[in-house]
């Protein structure tokens, strides 16, 4: 099938393109490269031996997006990753987030409606749950007030898709709520490429270990958790990527139980920040320079997924354990350093 992957040069997008091609899907990538690089496309080709079609433009541009769909009206399905994703940046510049994340989704849905493209997989986030009252968090758990404009864009996007599948019965959708994706492809050819100082834990750990950063701050050590540091459900990016292929196939083979379905994508295991650091030190043999500091504003204390629904309905289960995740992130950082030499 011919699948459009928006944001296909990005972190989760690039891993998903590789998995789609492995399963024989034909991929068209649209990416404006605002948070990635054209080298990623070359590396996808090195891994899979197949060149995806690549078009560089901004999906917030209505005319360009409409023109793209006119030229690619035979697309069978879309996986929509392209979006801004930094929580702190969204607080500082909410309008940029609303314009980018919402406008691109609207343009894509219009393209689907006009060109009768039936299937959409949407990148959502566990951020839609805020700090859940009950853990593990289920897909049916209440959507709490968003902690950031970024989180709000994910809530609004899900609502826009839900309204669209009702109004335009030709469109079916699956929203995948990611927990914390980490790690990199086994080949160390694709991985997370943070611009500037990383916000997320794993890139900060690997950059500290390799000497790009002096010290890792562990945000908060007084949480109500086993060791006082915050708990998240870390999932290997390749496990996550594979779930997207399954979601596309589910819609194409008409197994969906509703016009819009929602699935949690996590491992079901909560890990503290210190547990992740311990895993990293164990697999890399590098002692990390870290310090316990104040909580980071906007962080929730703990969240991990109830994965039963995704496991049963998608027939999918995250396979990789934390040591594989941290080791692959380390190999990726080492490979990046090698390439810069
Ligand atoms: N952390 C540190 N030091 C750092 C970076 C992170 O201690 O330098 C801690 C955070 O405080 C948090 C944990 O590591 O306790 C994970 O933090 P990340 O920034 O890696 O991930 P978040 O859980 O904050 O954010 C992720 C995604 C968001 C998404 C959110 C939903 O990056 O896009 O999950 O909960 F919105």
- Ligand 1 center to residue 236 CA distance, Å? 15
The residue nearest atom 20 of ligand 1, judged by CA position, is: 200
Please classify residue 214 by burial: count the beta carbons closer than 10 Å to its beta carbon, then call 0-12 exposed, 13-18 middle and 19+ buried. Answer: exposed
Model pLDDT, residue 123: 98
Model pLDDT, residue 133: 93
- Ligand 1 center to residue 200 CA distance, Å? 5
Q: Tell me the C-alpha distance between 59 and 46, whole Å.
A: 27
- For the annotated catalytic residues, the residue numbers are 150
- Ligand 1 center to residue 59 CA distance, Å? 27
Residue 330 CB neighbours (<10 A): 23
Which element (helix H / strand E) includes 159?
helix 149-167
CA dist list (Å): 37 to 14, 234, 276, 290: 11, 25, 28, 30
- Ligand 1 center to residue 202 CA distance, Å? 9
Residue 243 CB neighbours (<10 A): 23
- Ligand 1 center to residue 75 CA distance, Å? 35
Q: Tell me the C-alpha distance between 214 and 210, whole Å.
A: 9
Which element (helix H / strand E) includes 204?
helix 201-210
β-pair partners for 29: 5, 54
Ligand 1 atom nearest to CA at 273? 14
Ligand 1 atom nearest to CA at 148? 36
Q: Which tokens go with 203?
A: 């890139």
The residue nearest atom 36 of ligand 1, judged by CA position, is: 127
Ligand 1: residues with CB < 6 A are: 85, 87, 125-127, 151, 180, 199-201, 204, 216-219, 230, 232, 273, 296, 299
The residue nearest atom 15 of ligand 1, judged by CA position, is: 230
Q: What is the pLDDT of residues 181-193, one digit of tens each?
A: 999 999 999 999 9
Q: Which tokens go with 30?
A: 């649209």
The residue nearest atom 18 of ligand 1, judged by CA position, is: 200
Q: What is the pLDDT of residues 191-208, one digit of tens each?
A: 999 988 999 999 999 999
Q: What is the pLDDT of residues 72-111, one digit of tens each?
A: 989 999 999 999 999 889 999 999 999 999 999 999 999 9
Coil/strand/helix, residue 257 = coil
CA torsion through residues 52, 57, 62, 68, sign: negative
Q: Is the pTM of this model over 0.95?
A: yes
Model pLDDT, residue 73: 82
Q: Are 160 and 117 within 8 A, CB to CB?
A: no
Q: Tell me the C-alpha distance between 19 and 154, whole Å.
A: 24
Which element (helix H / strand E) includes 60?
none
Q: Tell me the C-alpha distance between 59 and 125, whole Å.
A: 20
Ligand 1 atom nearest to CA at 127? 31
Ligand 1 pocket mutation, candidates 87, 212, 228, criterion most atoms within 8 A of CB: 87
The residue to which tokens 């509703």 are assigned: 258
Model pLDDT, residue 297: 85
Q: Tell me the C-alpha distance between 147 and 130, whole Å.
A: 7
In the predicted model, what is the mean pLDDT of residues 45-57? 98
DSSP state of 224: S
Q: Which tokens go with 24?
A: 């024989």
End-to-end CA distance of the chain: give it in Å, rounded: 40
Which element (helix H / strand E) includes 125?
strand 119-125
């Amino acid at each position: 099938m011919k699948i459009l992957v928006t944001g296909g040069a990005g972190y989760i997008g690039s891993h998903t393109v590789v998995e789609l091609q492995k399963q024989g899907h034909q991929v068209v990538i649209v990416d404006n490269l605002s948070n990635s690089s054209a080298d990623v496309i070359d590396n996808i080709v090195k891994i899979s031996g197949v060149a995806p079609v690549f078009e560089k433009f901004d999906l917030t541009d209505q005319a360009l997006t409409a023109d793209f769909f006119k030229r690619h009206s035979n697309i069978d399905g879309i996986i929509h990753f392209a979006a801004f994703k930094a929580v702190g940046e969204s607080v500082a510049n909410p309008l940029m987030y609303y314009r980018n994340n919402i406008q691109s989704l609207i343009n894509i849905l219009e393209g689907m409606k006009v060109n009768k493209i039936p299937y959409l997989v949407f990148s959502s986030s566990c951020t839609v749950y805020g700090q859940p009252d009950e853990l593990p968090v289920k897909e049916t758990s209440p959507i709490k007030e968003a902690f950031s404009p970024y989180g709000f864009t994910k809530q609004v996007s899900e609502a826009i898709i839900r309204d669209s599948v009702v109004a335009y019965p030709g469109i079916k959708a699956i929203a995948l709520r990611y927990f914390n994706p980490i790690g990199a492809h086994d080949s160390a050819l694709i991985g997370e490429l943070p611009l500037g100082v990383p916000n997320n834990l794993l890139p900060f750990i690997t950059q500290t270990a390799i000497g790009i950063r002096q010290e890792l701050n562990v945000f908060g050590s007084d949480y109500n958790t086993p060791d006082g540091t915050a708990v998240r459900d870390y999932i290997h990016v390749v496990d996550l990527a594979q779930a997207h292929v399954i979601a596309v196939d589910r819609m194409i083979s008409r197994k969906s139980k509703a016009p819009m379905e929602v699935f949690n994508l996590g491992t079901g295991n909560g890990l503290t920040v210190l547990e992740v650091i311990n895993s990293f030190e164990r697999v890399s043999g590098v002692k990390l320079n870290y310090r316990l500091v104040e909580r980071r504003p906007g962080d929730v204390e703990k969240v991990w997924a109830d994965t039963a629904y995704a496991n049963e309905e998608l027939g999918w289960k995250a396979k990789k354990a934390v040591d594989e995740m941290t080791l692959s992130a380390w190999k990726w950082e080492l490979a990046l350093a090698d390439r810069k030499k």
